[in-house]
């Protein structure tokens, strides 16, 4: 289920599985259509989704985005005995409500910034006095990755709170979490869990801001690479012990066992890793680099996770570095230009199904076909993805391929991976 670059990467990997007989995608996109039969289903109509699965004898449903998970689609599928990869509505609160997650962290003693939950502009404004600048303000609910404001001054924090309680994020902003600013480098850690067993599932670093050098407004992510060497094996062990394990155990103990992928956004502070936020799905575009490195049968792994048999499953990641560059439509993250023509052409830099021989793979995000022409149909449009023996090499291959893409109304950051490239020297 889904239609972005994340789902294209998942479909591409699922399609490589020896245990796959047939793959459907709803709604999919032109890239996904190369891997799967695309069908139209209304994700909010759970009866229609389960009906389709029953009539097509579907053995596993992989739910890509957070909205249908927070809406309880996995529960509806499970109630119809259809295995689903993704958490229940109750467990998806880990992404669906920032306040829920902060309270859980407090109960389970998980390292995260100090916080206050507020439900009115008055209480929020007076709570600011308990924090120091920069102020971190978060709409409680889902806000398409845009619900976080970091305000450098008290005046800006007050103005942002007034916008949030004024309906800027709709119902998602009816409650606002104010939290302490954490200092350090950000990294993402992924784990699969069936509610009890935990399978580490890779690390990555994203580039949230639209501009080179990490400036400008936040986006859904302009590029990523994996692994994230800043998350050393020692730090990963701490993340599992201090953050992931207590979360999985608390969720199970409280009657909301978490099943699916748990994506921890972390701040690597001087005192150790702290949780910034959880997501209840793969990152986009982090998924594209994880799938590039994953070895093993994704259908088997996800099915084991869905069935509560993750302890018996195996996954490994190749040692190569993978890097993806997001090509977005001009205007993103504001109002993106729609309909711009894309020509992928015949360049050798792009002729790679397997991403070998110095060539890249293009995952489709917001694309469509109009009158036989591939066109932009969203903010983030293409994810040009490459691997290499280092981030530097993967970056070079990815940008060679970017240069071979003819997408006049598109743009990308030219510095994806810069922190790691600098460290690699």
Binding site for ligand GLY (CB under 6 A): 145, 206, 220-221, 279, 283-284, 286
Given ligand GLY, ligand AMP, none, residue 27, with its beta carbon under 5 to 8 Å by kind, binds none
What residue 276 binds from ligand GLY, ligand AMP, none (CB within 5 to 8 A, per partner kind)? ligand AMP
Shortest reach from residue 239's CB to ligand GLY, in Å = 17
Q: Which does 259 bind (CB under 5 to 8 A by kind): ligand AMP, ligand GLY, none?
A: none
| Exposure letters 261-299 (e unless 16+ CB within 10 A, then b) | bbbbbbbbeeeebbbbbbbbbbbbbbbbbbbbbbeebbb
Provide the minimum distance between the beta carbon of 49 and ligand GLY in the complex, in angstroms, as a whole number: 23
Shortest approach of ligand AMP to residue 221 CB, angstroms? 9
Edge-to-edge strands, sheet with 148-151: 115-118, 176-179, 135-139, 148-151
Task: Indicate which of ligand GLY, ligand AMP, none lies near residue 284 (CB less than 5 to 8 Å, by partner kind).
Answer: ligand GLY
Taking the least distance from each CB to ligand AMP, the nearer of 184 and 308 is 184
| Least Cβ distance, residue 112 to ligand AMP (angstroms) | 8
Q: Which partner, ligand GLY, ligand AMP, none, binds residue 179 by CB below 5 to 8 Å per kind?
A: ligand AMP
Select 212 or 249, whichever has its Cβ closest to ligand AMP: 212
The answer to whether 138 touches 177, Cβ cutoff 8 Å, is yes
d(CA 287, CA 150): 26
Query: Cβ closer to ligand GLY: 165 or 263?
Result: 263
- The entry of ligand AMP, ligand GLY, none near residue 221 (CB within 5 to 8 angstroms by kind) is ligand GLY
Question: Among residues 35 and 179, whose Cβ is nearest to ligand AMP?
Answer: 179
> Which pair of structure tokens corresponds to residue 120?
């009115």
Residue 157 C-beta: closest distance to ligand AMP, Å: 13
Q: Whole-angstrom Cα distance, residue 364 to residue 121?
A: 41
Q: Pick the closer one to ligand GLY by CB: 7 or 297.
A: 7
Sites of contact with ligand AMP (CB under 6 A): 113, 136, 145, 148, 150, 179, 181-182, 186, 208, 218, 265, 276-277
The length of the chain in residues reads: 425
Pure H helices in 307-390? none
CB of 206 to ligand GLY, least distance (A): 5
The Cα diameter of the chain in Å comes to 60
Q: Which is nearer to ligand GLY, 186 or 249 (CB)?
A: 186
Cα 401–407–410 angle (5° rounding)? 100
Rounded (10°) CA dihedral 72, 286, 112, 195: 40
Nearer to ligand GLY, 179 or 286 (CB): 286
Nearer to ligand AMP, 10 or 187 (CB): 187
Query: Dihedral (C-alpha) 81, 86, 91, 94: value to the nearest 10 degrees?
Result: -170
Compute the distance between CA of residue 352 and CA of residue 336 in angstroms, rounded to an integer: 28
Q: H helices within 329-417, ranges in order?
A: 391-404
Neighbours of 11 (CB within 10 A): 29
Please identify the residue of the shown chain whose CB is closest to the bound ligand GLY. Answer: 221
CA distance 121 to 305: 42
Does residue 345 come out as left (phi exceeding 0), alpha (psi in the -120 to 50 range) or beta? left
Q: How far is the CB of 178 from ligand GLY (least distance, A)?
A: 21
User: Measured from the CB of residue 221, what is the shortest distance to ligand GLY in angstroms?
Assistant: 3
Rounded to the nearest whole angstrom, what is the least distance from the CB of residue 406 to ligand AMP in the complex? 32
Residue 113 binding: pick among ligand AMP, ligand GLY, none (C-beta 5-8 Å cut-off by kind): ligand AMP
DSSP lists the bridge partners of residue 205 as 225
Given a contact cutoff of 8 angstroms between Cβ atoms, the answer to whether 7 and 298 are in contact is no
- For ligand AMP, the closer CB: 276 or 398: 276
Min. distance of Cβ 115 from ligand AMP in angstroms? 8
Which option in ligand AMP, ligand GLY, none does residue 193 bind, with CB closer than 5 to 8 A by kind? Answer: none
- Choose the contact partner of 103 out of ligand GLY, ligand AMP, none; CB within 5 to 8 A by kind: none
d(CA 68, CA 58): 18
Q: Tell me, what DSSP letter sits at residue 242?
A: I
324 touches 384 (CB < 8 A): yes
**CA 414/CA 197 separation, integer angstroms:** 39
């Amino acid at each position: 289920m889904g239609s972005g670059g994340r789902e294209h990467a998942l479909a591409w990997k699922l399609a490589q599985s020896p245990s796959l007989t047939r793959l459907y995608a709803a709604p999919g996109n032109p890239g996904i259509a190369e891997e799967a039969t695309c069908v139209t289903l209304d994700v909010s109509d759970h009866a229609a989704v389960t009906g389709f699965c029953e009539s097509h004898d579907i053995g596993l449903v992989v739910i890509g985005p957070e909205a249908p998970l927070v809406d309880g689609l996995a529960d509806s599928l499970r109630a119809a005995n259809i295995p689903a990869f993704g958490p229940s509505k109750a467990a998806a609160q880990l992404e669906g409500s920032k306040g829920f997650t902060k309270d859980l962290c407090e109960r389970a003693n998980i390292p995260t910034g100090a916080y206050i939950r507020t439900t009115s502009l008055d209480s929020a404004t007076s709570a600011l006095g308990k924090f120091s600048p920069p102020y971190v303000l978060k709409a409680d609910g889902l806000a398409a990755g845009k619900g976080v404001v970091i305000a450098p001054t008290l005046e800006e924090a007050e103005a942002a709170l007034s916008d949030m309680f004024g309906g800027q994020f709709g119902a998602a902003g009816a409650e606002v979490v104010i939290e302490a600013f954490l200092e350090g480098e950000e990294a993402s850690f992924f784990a699969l869990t069936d509610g009890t067993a935990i399978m580490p599932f890779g690390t990555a670093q994203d580039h949230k801001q639209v501009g080179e050098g990490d400036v400008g407004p936040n986006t859904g992510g302009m590029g990523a690479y994996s692994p994230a060497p800043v998350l050393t094996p020692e730090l990963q062990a701490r993340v599992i012990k201090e953050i992931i394990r207590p979360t999985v155990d608390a969720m199970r103990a409280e009657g909301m066992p978490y099943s699916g992928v748990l994506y921890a956004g972390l701040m690597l502070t001087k005192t150790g890793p702290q949780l910034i936020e959880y997501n209840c799905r793969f990152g986009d575009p982090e998924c594209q680099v994880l799938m590039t490195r994953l070895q093993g049968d994704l259908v088997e792994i996800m099915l084991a996770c869905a069935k509560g048999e993750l302890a018996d499953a195996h996954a490994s990641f190749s040692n190569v570095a993978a890097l993806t560059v997001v090509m977005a439509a001009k205007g993103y993250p504001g109002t993106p230009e729609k309909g711009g023509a894309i020509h992928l052409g015949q360049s050798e830099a792009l002729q790679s199904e397997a991403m070998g021989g110095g060539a890249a793979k293009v995952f489709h995000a917001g694309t469509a076909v109009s009158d036989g022409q591939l066109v932009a149909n969203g903010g983030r449009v293409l994810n040009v993805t490459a691997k290499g023996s280092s981030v530097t090499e993967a970056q070079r291959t990815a940008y060679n391929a970017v240069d071979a893409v003819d997408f006049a109304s598109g743009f990308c950051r030219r510095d994806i991976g810069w922190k790691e490239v600098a460290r690699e020297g």
